Structure 1
Amino acid sequence: MKAERHRLGIATVSLGWHPSHTLERKLDAISKQGYDGVEIYYPDLVTFAEQHSLTHLEAASKIGTICRDGDISIIALQPLFNFAGMRTPLETRLESAREYISLARAMGTKMIQVPTTYEMNSTGAENLIVAELRALADLGRESPESGQEEICFAFEALAWGVHHPLMDDAIRIVKLVDRPNFGLCLDTYHVIARVWADPHASAGAGTGVAPGGYAALKSTLDRFMEQCPVEKIFYLQLSDAERLDQPLVLGHEAYKAEWAHWDATMHWCVWGRLFPYETEYGAYFPLDDILRLWLVEKGWKGWVSMEMFHRDEHKESVGPEVLAERGYRSWLKIKSRFGLE
């Protein structure tokens, strides 16, 4: 996972949700804007397959060809949701993982992203979760077909994860899994939204910051510097969030009744996430310290993927070309701010 410099990518899910925002348009916009890589969002692959009457495996192979022709590396296939701690038989989940591995190899990527589980009917028993994630990692290391490489898994702590919502949790579990192909996907939104922001109430008071939020974020980042092995960082996802004018509770435009069981960070995630430092759209997260640690002080180099989830992505006018340019402009702000190459 080591690299000599940060390499810029973007997630296809961050390039539009309107039916006209096809995967072909997204990949073309990524190539023309000058990104190095892309995260392929699994539902985008499924839609692409349906539109072209292809099997998922055929679609993955075609996507790989399009990316190679556009000089785009595929950072990862994502996400493999709700894998560890589920009540379903492990072998059933491993069979789904085998499909993802086949798709990843067909498109030419070595990485699959695995978020922490958010299914309410799941167990938080850490010994079981670690054992299941070891089985997943070992599946990726099984002797691949001739000429193909092992698959790595990037573990991400979701802010609304029911058992492991914190970056500290993800770091601890990755260490316990203790497999060379099992590491971390670190996401600014999930860290800051969980420990610093308060979409439930404080946003309504006009601050958007949880009581003690700055201290909690500092403690989190201090522990990161002490406890996170740099070689276990597989890639980063960078995003910001829109300040909320009202508490994100029932009655708010962003609130989804079917998600009532989950933390408000889940509702906020698909309603108001932005690219870093997009203050012109209401972005307000305190990104300076976390980005300085991740991009400079930790000494880590590798993939940096721009990510946003925003209600405007449903608009036909806010399409791949517009969003690719916005993400790239955000990265230029970061590079200038921290003196990156």
Structure 2
Amino acid sequence: MGQLQLAVPTSSLGKPEGGHAIETILKAAAEHGIKGIEVCYEGILSHAVSRSKQSDQPSNEEMLDAAKDIKQQCQKLGLTIFVLQPFASYEGLLDPEAHRAAVRRWSHWLDLAQTLGCDIIQMPSNFELSGTTGDIDRTVADMVEIADMALAASPQVRIAYEAVAWGTHFDLWEQSWEVAKRVNRSNFGLCLDTYHIAARVWADPERPDGKLPNGDQALEESLHRLVKDVDLDKVYMLQLSDTERLSSPLVDGHPLYVKGQKSRMTWSRNARLFPCEEQFGGHLPLLQITRAAVNELGYRSWISMETFSRHLREKDVELPATMAKRAADSYAKVFQSLEWDKL
């Protein structure tokens, strides 16, 4: 599979709402030794809008032109784009026209991936609160449809399916693995994320201690299955992320509470951290998960340091550089803690 290398999503170094341009984000990554980039759709969109200066809804052609420019910037900086993400709200749509629209959107995303020069599109499990089904046969049929489209692309594109902790029907990595096995396509595999694994079976932001009563045992059993059952060749990407230990339960009355939004989603969007950031209240047993995926299962490819935070929306010109340094420092701590120099 290659070797372990440091990567980061563009959205983890800054946000359009904070005025952080893609140029600044990419330069910050390169200056702090980051080699791999997950390009987030919001970054392409923001870049396209800034280039056109005419509309906040750029055409497909303008989006492709923006993606081409991002690729050129990365090439000049020595950065490798390895993922486009996140293609969301797709599988299990009940309305036929909504499904057809999603397939058209997928075709555009394939063009974007080709333009960026990357061969992976990351796809979170559907978390729409209505209008979907968790029927496994329907889900697999939907996935086969877009996987075959990606196989027909030249060059081919892979799909990294991720069970997010707030997924409507699929919120465990075991479920995403079952989907992948049933899809049975050479270009359909998994994205494993330490936050989503731990947040679902070990943690609970609505509890005072932020942890499920049987969390330790549940996580240990889950990781045992991961190492035993998953085909290493089907793990296309690994994202490392922690989250803050909140001072009070994330329920109605908490400053971060959002009515109608699952607490694990709210927690993720506002309080994620890079690994080994105890100084900011790091909470999850992510080293245990990372050890299972890398040291035991044998994953050897990009290690993407991912975070989401309310602070990423702040209008701070130094924020991309600050976050890039944090990502690099975090990776170094994980590398040392898990003794990756001996692998």
8 Å CA contact retained: 2:8, 2:34: yes
CA distance in 1, matches of 2:152, 2:5: 28
**2:55 counterpart residue number:** none
CA distance in 1, matches of 2:102, 2:145: 11
Match of 2:205 among 199, 202, 216: 199
Q: Alpha-carbon deviation of 1:91?
A: 2.8
**1:129 counterpart residue number:** 139
The yes-or-no answer on 1:179 pairing with 2:185 is yes
Matched residues, percent identical?
35
1:124-171 residue CA offsets vs partner (Å, 9 max, x unmatched): 000010011011110001152xxxx10111000110001000011111
**1:112 counterpart residue number:** 121
Q: Alpha-carbon deviation of 1:209?
A: 1.1
**1:12 counterpart residue number:** 10
CA distance in 2, matches of 1:24, 1:112: 22
**1:71 counterpart residue number:** 78
Q: Any idea what SS the aligned residue of 1:77 has?
A: strand
1:199-230 residue CA offsets vs partner (Å, 9 max, x unmatched): 112xx2xx221111111111111111121110
Pairing 1:203-214 to 2, within 5 Å after superposition: 204=208, 207-214=209-216
Pairing 1:240-251 to 2, within 5 Å after superposition: 240-251=242-253
4+ residue stretches of structure 1 with deviation over 4 A? none
CA distance in 1, matches of 2:257, 2:153: 46
**2:289 counterpart residue number:** 290
Q: Alpha-carbon deviation of 1:273?
A: 0.5
Number of equivalent positions: 328
Match of 1:220 among 219, 222, 236: 222
Q: Alpha-carbon deviation of 1:76?
A: 0.7
**In the superposition, relative to structure 1, how do residues 114 and 326 fare at CA in structure 2: closer, same or farther (>3 Å)?**
same
Q: Which amino acid aligns with 1:127?
A: D
Q: Which amino acid aligns with 2:198?
A: I
Q: Any idea what SS the aligned residue of 2:329 has?
A: helix
Q: Any idea what SS the aligned residue of 1:84 has?
A: coil
Q: Which amino acid aligns with 2:38?
A: E
Q: Any idea what SS the aligned residue of 2:211 has?
A: coil
CA distance in 1, matches of 2:136, 2:19: 43
8 Å CA contact retained: 1:86, 1:119: no
**1:32 counterpart residue number:** 31
**In the superposition, relative to structure 1, how do residues 208 and 19 fare at CA in structure 2: closer, same or farther (>3 Å)?**
closer
Q: Alpha-carbon deviation of 1:316?
A: 2.7
Q: Any idea what SS the aligned residue of 2:31 has?
A: helix
CA distance in 2, matches of 1:313, 1:288: 24
CA distance in 2, matches of 1:191, 1:143: 31
Match of 1:82 among 86, 89, 105: 89
Q: Any idea what SS the aligned residue of 2:103 has?
A: helix
CA distance in 1, matches of 2:286, 2:18: 32
8 Å CA contact retained: 1:12, 1:23: yes
CA distance in 2, matches of 1:38, 1:112: 12
Q: Alpha-carbon deviation of 1:263?
A: 2.5
Q: Which amino acid aligns with 1:8?
A: L
8 Å CA contact retained: 1:277, 1:284: no
The yes-or-no answer on 1:139 pairing with 2:149 is yes
**1:334 counterpart residue number:** 334
CA distance in 2, matches of 1:306, 1:333: 12
The TM-score normalised by the length of structure 1 is 0.94
Q: Which amino acid aligns with 2:119?
A: K
CA distance in 2, matches of 1:195, 1:243: 16
Q: Alpha-carbon deviation of 1:116?
A: 0.4
The yes-or-no answer on 1:253 pairing with 2:259 is no
8 Å CA contact retained: 2:271, 2:308: yes
Unaligned runs of 5+ in 2: 53-57
Q: Any idea what SS the aligned residue of 2:203 has?
A: coil
Q: Which amino acid aligns with 2:166?
A: W
CA distance in 1, matches of 2:153, 2:258: 44
Q: Any idea what SS the aligned residue of 1:85 has?
A: coil
CA distance in 1, matches of 2:175, 2:197: 11
The TM-score normalised by the length of structure 2 is 0.93
The yes-or-no answer on 1:320 pairing with 2:320 is yes
CA distance in 1, matches of 2:231, 2:180: 10
CA distance in 2, matches of 1:19, 1:249: 27
Pairing 1:268-279 to 2, within 5 Å after superposition: 268-279=267-278
Q: CA RMSD in A?
A: 1.2
**1:58 counterpart residue number:** 65
Q: Any idea what SS the aligned residue of 1:305 has?
A: strand
The yes-or-no answer on 1:99 pairing with 2:101 is no
